[in-house]
Structure 1
Amino acid sequence: PPVEAAPLAAAQVSDDIAVTPMGRRMAAVAGVALADILGTGRDGRITKADVERVLAERTGVSVTSGVPAWPAQVEDDAAVRSAGRFHDEELSAMRRVTATRMQQAKQTVPHFYLRIECAADAALALLASAKQLRPDLAPTVTDLVIRASALALRKVPRANSAWVDGRVRLYEDADIAVAVNTPNGLITPIVRGADKMDLAAVATETQGLVARAREGRLRPDEYAGGTFTISNLGMYGVESLYAIVNPPQSCILGVGAAVSRPVAAGNEVRVGQVMVCTLSADHRVIDGAVGAELLAAIRDHIEQPGLMVV
């Protein structure tokens, strides 16, 4: 995450647990409860090294040493030696946590993927009208998909879930995490209770979260947790993506760009805007039928955006 580390000398105390700012942030990003960490710092406070130790114990991958992308003997490979000019970058502590979590997710979460096409003409028309009425607000495609996903999770509550300590945890609120690109990498601020917001409220909340994320001013409680994640790369022209599930959450939705395609309209063919949404899901938590029901509900809300305005 892009939040710079505060000096480790300034420990913070919350709920009677002493923890350094960096330790708190790393634990929040990694999804590790502070109560599960034995602090070895001064007066028993939890430090960055303590969080790294717990992550290494749980994943079998050393966060301190980084995540090995290639076998050690690759350094002797002739192709590597002749690869030309390059330079290596050291990973920040937060980037090591992200790398560890993504490797763990890809290796341990049994992913399956479902893809659906959504007619986007009505949604894009609604967003254009909203921009004319409220240029200062201007809801985006991401805002609309957040709202659509939150309402779909209300309809398919089994998908609003997580794999926690060998059990399925079912959430009562739709807290939607959104992948945001920042100069320091990806972070996922959370629109909490998105199922209880209208589209305008979602847009207002998202704008504030994205701005603080890119300025490195997010509080840990603004990006720790979440029950469902959305990654939208449509603004880069990407038509579809298969995202990695963000544990312990059971689902992540990849959103592509709206593109012009021939579509059937009765007995005629016309050019329409089509957007692809791809669901990546943890098969330990939900089955294909549940994922399909969720995707269909998301599509229905995108194709009938008037239902999401109120």
Structure 2
Amino acid sequence: MSIEIKMPALSPTMEEGTLAKWLVKEGDSVKAGDLMAEIETDKATMEFEAVDEGVVGKLVVPEGTDGVKVGTVIMLLDGEGEESAPAKKDAAAETAAPAPKKEQVDAPVDRETGEKVSVENPENKRPAAEAQAPVQASAQPQAAAAPRRDGERVKASPLARRIAAEKGVDLATLAGSGPNGRIVKADVEGAQPAAAAAPSQAASWPTAAPAAAPAPAQIPDIPHQTTKLSNMRKTIARRLTESKQQVPHIYLTVDVRLDKLLKLRAELNESLGARGVKLSVNDLMIKALAAALVQVPKCNVMYTPNELVTFKRADISVAVSTPEGLITPVITEADTASLSSISTRMKDLAARARDKKLKPEEFTGGTASLSNMGMYGIKQFEAVINPPQGMILAVGAGEKRPYVIDDALGIATVMSATGSFDHRAIDGSDGAELMQAFKALCENPLGMLA
């Protein structure tokens, strides 16, 4: 019997993926641990391994297919000497009752001609009107389907749904001619978008006015090119929209003097040069944020509908730009890790993030996030919280500014940092305390090394 191999969920946020490449072909023998496919998730391209052994009977989903839902059968794996079962027939055809067979009985003899007369079994004979009744009854819903109430599921084939979306036809207003009133391609092709709302207006029960679908973007008549949205870009769009709609953000900004931190960095890099380690300002920002979160645990939290989760260590998600969008690899235990360890891990994670080679556990979790745009010369910005985390720190560029030093006006290297906080979980005063702790650690950086 064939084993159905289904699209796996390769990350906690994965709902669908792209079957980028098959690494096997039909007829190949595979065993547990063999690589079978490359699958593009919302964050990375990952290799899919076999967990059973057998012979590849059929590759159900062609390589390069987008939007394959988790749980969809993508391959049939046969045992040795077996063949894949043929595709299942339409469910309606399988359940349809077979027509009753006509049975012959002993034929009577016509008295006038002496010939036998063939007749059907009386049990199989019904009046014509009775025989036609079921057909008329089954056809009646297709000819004039009752309007559907709000929220009632519309039965339609995937092809019919796609055509309806392209034509702007409301499926709820159509009568299906398929099995059990299912809407099929022919029903949609003959429908007119302008008349789609008419049947629902004649309903005998009150219905709410349907929400207007957003109009498709009108592309100006200007030379242009279009790029298909990647799974990563779709996920970024969905999650950031949810964050801004559902998470009440509060923003707090501090100016941080960096002179001591830059001096310490130079001294550490001089001593670490023999080990091939070169600290970046971003590495020190990760350490400072992690240490501040441990000092102010009220900000190292996650909000849930029924409880507030407070973490006992600081794992920092760091925004990394890739050709397809942002991804946030995680520096675990950043509060206790050495600066050299943070630097080495960050370089490795960033390189593999750009190559889409991160493992799910390397970009999920995290108790807070850091986004640094200082290298682009951005002075200040406000980052969007990465749910379910409670905060994210946005770091700008360090620049020479007039600054009061020892009660006298001077020039200092100053950086603006803005914390975005989930106001459901973190009060303004708690967020201010965290920003104060972060500023103090950056301006007296030996404190983060103790």
- TM-score between both structures, scaled by the size of structure 1: 0.77
Question: What is the deviation of 1:267?
Answer: 3.4
Q: Which one has more relative contact order, counting CA pairs under 8 Å at least 6 apart?
A: 1
User: Structure 1 residue 49 and structure 2 residue 47: aligned?
Assistant: no
Question: What is the deviation of 1:187?
Answer: 0.8
User: Structure 1 residue 92 and structure 2 residue 230: aligned?
Assistant: yes
**The one of 242, 245, 255 aligned to 1:117:** 255
Gaps of 5+ in 1: 14-19, 29-41, 52-63
**C-alpha distance in 1 between matches for 2:381 and 2:405:** 27
Q: How does 1:227-266 map to 2 (within 5 A)?
A: 227-266=367-406
- Partner AA of 2:412 in structure 1: G
Residue of structure 2 equivalent to 1:107: 245
Question: What is the deviation of 1:5?
Answer: 6.1
**C-alpha distance in 2 between matches for 1:157 and 1:254:** 19
Question: What is the deviation of 1:22?
Answer: 4.7
**C-alpha distance in 2 between matches for 1:50 and 1:215:** 23
Question: What is the deviation of 1:92?
Answer: 1.0
Residue of structure 2 equivalent to 1:272: 412
**C-alpha distance in 1 between matches for 2:351 and 2:257:** 30
Q: Which moved more, 1:196-205 or 1:105-114?
A: 196-205
Question: What is the deviation of 1:183?
Answer: 2.1
User: Structure 1 residue 207 and structure 2 residue 350: aligned?
Assistant: no
Q: How does 1:11-50 map to 2 (within 5 A)?
A: 22=39, 25-26=41-42, 48-50=68-70
Q: Is the 8 A contact 1:178 1:188 kept in 2?
A: yes
Question: What is the deviation of 1:173?
Answer: 1.8
Q: Residues 163, 268 of structure 1: CA spacing in aligned structure 2 closer, same or farther, 3 A cutoff? A: same
Q: Is the 8 A contact 1:150 1:174 kept in 2?
A: yes
Q: Secondary structure at the match of 2:396?
A: strand
Residue of structure 2 equivalent to 1:306: 446
**Residues 205-253 of structure 1: CA distance to partner in whole angstroms, max 9, x if unpaired?**
2122112212322111100111100000001101111000000001000
Question: What is the deviation of 1:7?
Answer: 4.6
User: Structure 1 residue 144 and structure 2 residue 284: aligned?
Assistant: yes
Question: What is the deviation of 1:165?
Answer: 3.8
Q: How does 1:161-172 map to 2 (within 5 A)?
A: 161-172=301-312
- Partner AA of 2:267 in structure 1: S
Q: Which moved more, 1:206-215 or 1:279-288?
A: 206-215
Q: Is the 8 A contact 1:281 1:291 kept in 2?
A: yes
**Residues 48-88 of structure 1: CA distance to partner in whole angstroms, max 9, x if unpaired?**
5249xxxxxxxxxxxx99xxxx941652xxxx534x22222
- Partner AA of 1:49 in structure 2: K
**The one of 185, 190, 197 aligned to 2:325:** 185
**The one of 246, 255, 266 aligned to 1:128:** 266
- Partner AA of 2:449 in structure 1: V
Structure number with higher helix proportion? 1
Q: Is the 8 A contact 2:43 2:327 kept in 1?
A: no
**C-alpha distance in 2 between matches for 1:4 and 1:123:** 45
**C-alpha distance in 2 between matches for 1:73 and 1:221:** 37
Q: Is the 8 A contact 1:161 1:285 kept in 2?
A: yes
Aligned residues: 263
Question: What is the deviation of 1:94?
Answer: 2.1
Q: Is the 8 A contact 1:199 1:308 kept in 2?
A: no
User: Structure 1 residue 160 and structure 2 residue 303: aligned?
Assistant: no
Greater C-alpha radius of gyration: 2
**C-alpha distance in 2 between matches for 1:113 and 1:241:** 10
- Partner AA of 1:239 in structure 2: K
Q: Is the 8 A contact 1:4 1:216 kept in 2?
A: no
User: Structure 1 residue 198 and structure 2 residue 338: aligned?
Assistant: yes
**C-alpha distance in 2 between matches for 1:197 and 1:5:** 38
Q: Residues 27, 92 of structure 1: CA spacing in aligned structure 2 closer, same or farther, 3 A cutoff? A: closer
Q: Which moved more, 1:97-106 or 1:204-213?
A: 204-213
User: Structure 1 residue 81 and structure 2 residue 224: aligned?
Assistant: no
Q: Residues 48, 225 of structure 1: CA spacing in aligned structure 2 closer, same or farther, 3 A cutoff? A: farther
Residue of structure 1 equivalent to 2:123: none
Q: Is the 8 A contact 2:18 2:68 kept in 1?
A: no
- Partner AA of 1:124 in structure 2: L
Question: What is the deviation of 1:161?
Answer: 1.1
| RMSD of aligned alpha carbons | 3.0
